[in-house]
Structure 1
């Protein structure tokens, strides 16, 4: 998971709060939406973008908005985020139209921005990852067949290579509430970005943000947001997680059941805790490449660097552990596996298809050993290096843990005969 590269990314925040046509009531909170989101994305503690990377456009006319959005989209080659808040109108043919200050309600198909043009701007952008966020109502009137309308609108805003998030309110009252500073959906989004998500990683992905928004709005019986995935855009981090607790994160990867105060694993926990502060992170980077630490501990450090968003350092540290053909892909798999463990989704995932998980007898150390064996396998390290990583724990008084990791490795299906023989010999020696 990573944040956008400021140099090659663009966040485009567009909102229309004032309309010339009396048939389109003003939506005062929209301007607040845009300003608040801009302050978050530009804050070094959250999005860490500058004004050259994070653009705002408030109360523009249709012509100005169309050209400016297209220009900014073409400037991005890493991450592109486009946000729109305001009136959404439904054309005669069911097409979604985005209203601007000069939109004529009676001639909306000729004076509003067809979402197809916005799709084209995103599609033509050279950005590798694209996120589209729409917070708009459909002309301020209830839609009789909302399910069908949702499907129609979501189909229109789907763009290849893009993660799409929409508010999908039924009417103007669902879009915003009188006296509120922000619209309903954007207010919830701003709250999540500013306050973070407890128990989530150090970086907030758009997928985690969506799930939190869904729970919040559903609990208040408000219109539920919709999302459309594409590729791995859902893993993109929008901001740092303000609620991230480094101490709490220690438990996110299983620790040996026999760990005692003062041992190598507690020292590792302390190092990881300090690394949550940018000023202390270099110590974790250095330790992840120091052979004085057990290889398994260095792998954990590499994983934590990736979770903290320092992907270049994490890739370099992973490569230093052993000969890995595609370290960037291996790191991604390592983080994905860690996510499955922390979210308790591992036991229903495809990872288990190639492992024998029977007869663990509720032994926590045996279970830990199996998980570490699976995690080592995911790292892409060669078989002999993984075996040495397990055996190395004996030097630190972790003979039982070393044996359980080796036994866990033996549970992998499809091992070569020579590999099984090597494991058998090594298990007897520890």
Structure 2
């Protein structure tokens, strides 16, 4: 079943090298990073908070890059994503390493061996890992990048992840002159913006890969490669903006219940409060209803302002009534509403326990200040009594 990850339990690291001391520059990579970071923050994509998506532009050392990757891998519980754009090089043993600004061809110590990234992701506690590689094995930029007969995806395979790689080919442009993005990332961003006509409701990585491969091949550009393990291909990068629900066979049913047959966001993957509210917002998007329409369908039980406040809260509501009414009005089946309530109860219990664990340490300073004030008042009263 396709799903968007919980943004509160997901981390992304976007790495790009556009300037090189010994290789030709790739100025489009800087645009790649900025545009992809903005896309990852969009509610229609993963909706990642700024501190959950780290961007490393022209990192000077492999140690700096690995520190960011390891931190993301340790913090993520749902999904961890690593993206790299720049020159991809091959060491004397035919292993892939990613070029840093000071990298030289055939000198792996000047770059970042891919196996280091792979190992960091394999030890992550995240349930899913995604790797996006916009690179090839060697060094010509802006016009073409040299290819290699080896399969890049096989070089970079990671168990339990989805890998999407741009495979460079001889005489084929990776960073076309005059275009703002590299061919691979530009196509990815275009699909996120325009969607896939007649495609699924969510942009699963499997569907994303197939559409990118068709489009890039039609343009005479390198065809991407993909590898997935387990259910990695079912993870979604965003909502399909071109999605149109199939017309129902019974018009009266569609008229009476316009949300019938929708693929509702599943609460089963929610791990954090942030993920709870992101999924609640996705419910409204899936329903196709505006805040005002939700209010009208509720018969006045839920106002448009209440819907807005519910979807923009930072903490969980203490009671279930409004949330349950909102889900039912949007058209979520009652069986799924019960699942939502179970998730709400779990998160509410967890946040209550966390707050109780923090409260004693926060109360000590105020208790100490209160004691100090009492001592001062007592001292002043004693001095006044002595003078009298």
Q: TM-score range by the shorter chain?
A: 0.5 to 0.7
1:269 paired residue number = 258
Q: Tell me how far apart the structure 1 counterparts of residues 80 and 52 of structure 2 sit (CA, whole Å).
A: 10
CA contact 2:31–2:180 (8 Å) conserved in 1 = yes
Matched, 1:39 2:25: no
1:317 paired residue number = 335
Matched, 1:191 2:180: no
- Unaligned segments of structure 2, at least 5 residues: 263-284, 299-327, 340-388
Q: Tell me how far apart the structure 1 counterparts of residues 290 and 226 of structure 2 sit (CA, whole Å).
A: 32
State the Cα distance separating 1:120 from its structure 2 match. Answer: 0.5
State the Cα distance separating 1:250 from its structure 2 match. Answer: 3.5
3-state secondary structure, aligned to 1:137: coil
Bigger mean CA deviation after superposition, 192-201 or 263-272: 263-272
Q: Tell me how far apart the structure 1 counterparts of residues 156 and 290 of structure 2 sit (CA, whole Å).
A: 38
Q: Normalising by the residue count of structure 1, what TM-score does the alignment of the two structures yield?
A: 0.59
3-state secondary structure, aligned to 1:20: coil
The structure, 1 or 2, with the larger RCO (C-alpha pairs under 8 Å, 6+ apart) is 2
Label 1:45 to 1:320 Cα distance change in 2 as closer, same or farther (>3 A): closer
Residues 349-401 of structure 1: per-residue CA shift (max 9 Å, x gap): xxxxxxxxxxxxxxxxxxxxxxxxxxxxxxxxxxxxxxxxxxxxxxxxxxxxx
Q: Tell me how far apart the structure 2 counterparts of residues 278 and 129 of structure 1 sit (CA, whole Å).
A: 33
Label 1:78 to 1:320 Cα distance change in 2 as closer, same or farther (>3 A): closer
1:11 paired residue number = 12
1:389 paired residue number = none
CA contact 2:174–2:221 (8 Å) conserved in 1 = no
CA contact 1:97–1:113 (8 Å) conserved in 2 = yes
3-state secondary structure, aligned to 1:174: coil
Label 1:82 to 1:284 Cα distance change in 2 as closer, same or farther (>3 A): farther
More helix by share: 1
CA contact 1:200–1:241 (8 Å) conserved in 2 = yes
State the Cα distance separating 1:121 from its structure 2 match. Answer: 1.1
Bigger mean CA deviation after superposition, 95-104 or 80-89: 95-104
State the Cα distance separating 1:194 from its structure 2 match. Answer: 1.4
Q: Tell me how far apart the structure 1 counterparts of residues 171 and 105 of structure 2 sit (CA, whole Å).
A: 15
Q: Normalising by the residue count of structure 2, what TM-score does the alignment of the two structures yield?
A: 0.65
1:340 paired residue number = none
State the Cα distance separating 1:216 from its structure 2 match. Answer: 0.3
State the Cα distance separating 1:280 from its structure 2 match. Answer: 7.3
Label 1:166 to 1:174 Cα distance change in 2 as closer, same or farther (>3 A): same
State the Cα distance separating 1:45 from its structure 2 match. Answer: 3.5
- Unaligned segments of structure 1, at least 5 residues: 287-309, 322-430
3-state secondary structure, aligned to 1:40: helix
CA contact 2:99–2:112 (8 Å) conserved in 1 = yes
Q: Tell me how far apart the structure 2 counterparts of residues 284 and 110 of structure 1 sit (CA, whole Å).
A: 64
3-state secondary structure, aligned to 2:87: strand
3-state secondary structure, aligned to 1:169: coil
CA contact 2:153–2:164 (8 Å) conserved in 1 = no
CA contact 2:174–2:184 (8 Å) conserved in 1 = yes
1:205 paired residue number = 204
Q: How many positions carry a matched residue from both structures?
A: 281
Q: Tell me how far apart the structure 2 counterparts of residues 281 and 120 of structure 1 sit (CA, whole Å).
A: 49
Bigger mean CA deviation after superposition, 188-197 or 134-143: 134-143
State the Cα distance separating 1:171 from its structure 2 match. Answer: 4.9
3-state secondary structure, aligned to 2:190: helix
Residues 164-202 of structure 1: per-residue CA shift (max 9 Å, x gap): 110011258522111210001111011001111122233
